[in-house]
Structure 1
Amino acid sequence: MNEAPVSAPLDGVRILLTRAKSDDAIARTLRLAGAQVDALALTVSTPLDSAQLDAARDRLADGAYAWVVFSSWRAARAVVSGLPRARSRGTRIAAVGQATAQWISDHTGVSADLTGAGSAAALLECFPAPSSGARPVLIPRSAAAPDTLPDGLRALGWSVEAVDAYTTAPADIGDCDADIAGNFRAGHYDAAVLTASSQARALPPLLGLPPPSTRVVTIGAPTAATARRLGIAVAAQASSPTPDAIVRALTDALARPTHADAPEERDS
């Protein structure tokens, strides 16, 4: 017999998670907290191929970079075959967050030398300055990524090569589950979770703006800022990009009264 969870702060709460991954840690944790979770991918990511990316892969494997910096597992996937050899030649590995660092470890057996707290800004706060004559830094990234990481590293004195490794686009409305979409528009979800700015951008054209009764929780200040620019009221922002922090943010948001004209919470 399955035992009920000791603590179920989201017991009976209906949540829309705007991504769909196999064995998703966020979805699993929300369900353990008692929530009813529907996962719907609002975006589709596609790997890119280019002569620039091929050349960067070769240089990485040859140890041409002092660091390779990843902001997502998809970026790491683009150069994964060369990481063990690059490490053996002195290249260090940085990951923006723990999930990306774990993916790298699981798929290469190589551990990240530096792991940030889940955002580009946080990683830059702990990234070392270059020594004289240091090799450049490689950043494989999304074609839609902001320049926070490369600009920040250049400000520290690094020479940076940023290479587009994949692109993310809104899903086709025909690929969205019609029942989930209809339930969202009808206000049947107590909350929705946005884990990336691309999801915030895709939400209004695919599903429309969230009804006033649906609290929106985001991961990260960039996602919250993107959502607000698009007219999406953000009820809470998770304090860190971890499943437990998302549960806490949802619990906090759902504890507040629902008012269509309630003022939005602002980032501190």
Structure 2
Amino acid sequence: MHDPLSIDPRAAAAENANRTLRALCRDLAAGQLRLDDFDPGIVAELREVLADVEPQRDSFAYAGVGSRRTPPEILAAMADIAQTLGDAGTALSTGGADGADKAFETGALRTDAPITVHTPWPGYNGYRPGRDPEKDLDVVHPKSTETLQGRAYAELAREHHPYWNRCGRGARALFVRNVSILAGALDGEGGTLPVRAVIAYTPNGLPVGREAAGTGHTLRTAASLHVPCVNLSRRTPPERNAAALAAVPAIVRDAILGRVPGLPR
């Protein structure tokens, strides 16, 4: 059985590295530093690494989530989107619920791309933790909130639920599962692929309100993590989806456009 996933730690490390490189470039351009100021051995090593490295496609996952009451035409679009992304090798992170989650899973299962189903507890909706060789997917669930990872998930889940204190144990487990979905997908080789986009459906087209329910919680949490979210509802404000489509990886944008009427291009 795999351990629960962690919220992508690479993003913070990459941002720190980029900040350092930007400052270095500014200093070099301004003449405040010269390459001669650096240790020649380090400069030579850096040049050697850059010369030998092969460009690699950024590997990532997307989260496919949504309402259990997603309309049939949107469910069909979700399955098609998942198949398109799966054919391109993009991993799926989802929650195993009926409706939208199952539609994304169905489409992704037509491909060889990694699929990770995050569940709130063992046996949820028939999913058992571990590798499912028949379906060719991984099933994980957050550990008890007694563990460090569980506490981190629970704290983030609580932060984005306005009535956390009114939620029972089962409801809280479902919301903690929402955070786990955003942590990423297993890559089949012992690693984790970070979620770079969320594709979802809420009946009201928003991340808030009674109709948004648990999916809205996922969208609010994703926004706090700066993960762009595309809502396939026709009621979603066009400017909201336009901004999201501009921010998601191009392969995700191309898979979505043209499949759902009303989305901005």
Fold shared, TM-score > 0.5 on shorter chain = no
Counting strand residues as a fraction of each chain, which structure ranks higher? 1
TM-score by length of 2: 0.32
Counting helix residues as a fraction of each chain, which structure ranks higher? 2
TM-score by length of 1: 0.32
